[in-house]
Chains A and B, each alone.
Chain A
Amino acid sequence: MALLELQGLTKQFGGLVAVDHVDFDVNEGEILGLIGPNGAGKTTIFNMITGIYPPTEGKIYFRGERIAHPPLTWRQRFSTPVWWVSWLPLPSVKRRWDEVRTLRPHEITERGIARTFQTIRLFKNLTALENVMAGLHHRTHAGVWGAVARPPSQKQEETFIVAEAEKYLAFMGLTDYRDELAKNLPYGHQRRLEIARALAAEPSLLVLDEPAAGLNEQETLELMATIRQIRDSGITILLIEHDMKVVMGICERIVVLDYGKKIAEGTPEEVQNNPRVIEAYLGEEEV
């Protein structure tokens, strides 16, 4: 079974069909690239996978569980028995309710999908360490009581959070910037910090939105090595990228989108030689 399955995924913004019945699978342990010209609907797919907005139509399965649904109309809500009792804190109700709704982004992260953003969305005025600590939020539990009374369990948890965060900072080579504010980091390091923050959430699927955008040659090479390293540690990777060197260099499989439709899927070689892909990127040849 594939880790992530997209079936007939569609997103419409008013009259614009940004994503049009796209199907593809992401297999466990692979690096899958999602490419396409500007406006092809790549980021829209990412936003649907991570729950930022619901699809207009279609299904997304993660580990066999459905995580995205088209929004329910009021009529559907009234005729769905579980909607009436969805506020009850019962596990059985919760399970049934999860089957018909779109999960919220934080719930999807809890299930194991973490992401980075195309335009860097770090917590700018917080330190690098604090940024990475954000990823550990859903792996820890202290609440109001823990905060005020500070029982030993809470102290242990705090040490755990800092230690884990430092581990991911070190992994991304950012140890020296531990207490630096995120906004003061060089651009390339900000990109890496975002990946560190996503990794701290301990995902099984890491979704990277143009991780190499704005990086120089050297940084890009380093990033490619890091992405491979992340995959080798057992994390599946789905990435959008414009830099063909990166895509062809690290992706095992590639899905190509154009105007919201999937036009090709296959290994880098297959995709590179696909006439429809060439057409989409270079335009049709005038006869």
Chain B
Amino acid sequence: MMTALRERLRTIRPLWWQLGLLGLALLLPLPMGDYYRSVLWRTALYIILGLSLNVIVGYAGLFQLGHAAFYALGAYTTALLNLHWGIPILLTFPISILVAAFFGYLITRPILHLRGDYLCIVTIAFGEVVRLALVNNIFGITGGANGLSGIARPVLFGFAIREPIYHYYMVLLFLVFTIFAVRRLENSRLGRAWMYVREDEVAAEAMGIDTTRVKLLAFVIGSGWAGLAGSLYAAKITVVSPDQAKFLESVVMFCIVVLGGTGSIPGVFVGTLGMVTLPELSRALKEWRDAWLGLAMVTMMIARPEGLWPSRRIRMEIRAAQEEALAAPASGD
């Protein structure tokens, strides 16, 4: 019965699926109150963040546990440009992307040759550096621990985007573009290069792939896109604070990618539902969010290391790695 149903579903053209889901996303907030619309907005925002991190963690197979730093950089860029020079919010978006991407380049260029856990530690450190710089009111412009407030509303053709539902639609617009872009990236020459690097860096390099450049591109794209998410956040909340660069934020983003299924777009949706939407909806979970994060992490790593909705390929890679580990338990290297 189930398999028959699944087969039936599989015969439906992907375009119908996509249109159906888009329609659902558009209609979903209509019967809701402002609170739930905000929850939807937050979910969509974190999906964008998850997808941006997925480029780094999922496609290129690199660790990034300081992603929130770029999110905060984007938010602060928007805030500063708007507060100091009165630049309209929507125009600050591309600048935020560039600023975050530039910092992504600057930070990762010297550490790209590091592998696995070492890279992970450096990215955590960078995240903390950014947060502390913001808290300590660096250059006297970031407003210290209180952050910056009073950011203007984004205005589109004379219409100020104020209500949560319009913010949701704005984020949704960017989300649709993000999905479109990352899917194309994944199935491109660059996407394949990421795949080769993830599989075997030495062989990839020997086949003529500039691994440094390719990994750098993953970081730059991922960081820049996190900057955009930061701007979208600043546009709705109108207040930015160093809390955005908290280590826990980075961990949440990392969990979204890993628990949902590394390298998988639906996985990021599932991960965001578990890590962001559920705690938001239930008070109990919100108060116990840190515990929930830890519990989910431990359970998943034991029961389903490839994530809830993994990409076929990465599931294969993880299974293969596990089998190898089991086959050679005593090997010393």
Contact = CB atoms under 8 A, between A and B. Distances in A.
Nearest to B217: A144
Given A106-B210, A138-B209, A121 B189 contact: no
Contact of B192 (A133, A181, A201): A133
Interface in A113-152: 114-115, 117, 121-126, 130, 133-135, 137-140, 142-144, 146-148, 150
A110 B207 CA distance: 9
Contacts of B190: 142-144, 147
Given A105-B205, A123-B199, A124-B320, A137 B217 contact: no
A147 to B, nearest CB: 3
Contact of B207 (A143, A146, A197): A197
A143 B220 CA distance: 13
Interface string B41-83: 0000000000000000000000000000000000000000000
A211 to B, nearest CB: 15
A125 B317 contact: yes
B313 A125 contact: yes
Contacts of B204: 123, 134
A134 B184 contact: no
Interface centre among A52, A114, A126, A142 (most CB of B within 10 A): A126
- The dominant DSSP class at the B interface is helix
Interface centre among B199, B217, B316 (most CB of A within 10 A): B199
A124 B313 CA distance: 11
A34 B189 CA distance: 35
A50 B320 CA distance: 29
Contacts of A143: 189-190, 217
B203 interface: yes
Interface string A102-114: 0011110110001
- The dominant DSSP class at the A interface is helix
A134 B196 contact: yes
A247 B192 CA distance: 36
Contacts, number: 106
Contacts of A139: 208
B316 A137 contact: no
A161 interface: yes
A94 interface: no
B188 A109 contact: no
Interface string A44-63: 00000010100000000000
12 contacts: A50-B206, A109-B207, A114-B207, A114-B208, A121-B203, A130-B192, A137-B189, A137-B209, A146-B189, A147-B189, A154-B188, A197-B207
Contact of B206 (A109, A125, A133, A146): A109
Contacts of A146: 188-189
B196 A123 contact: yes
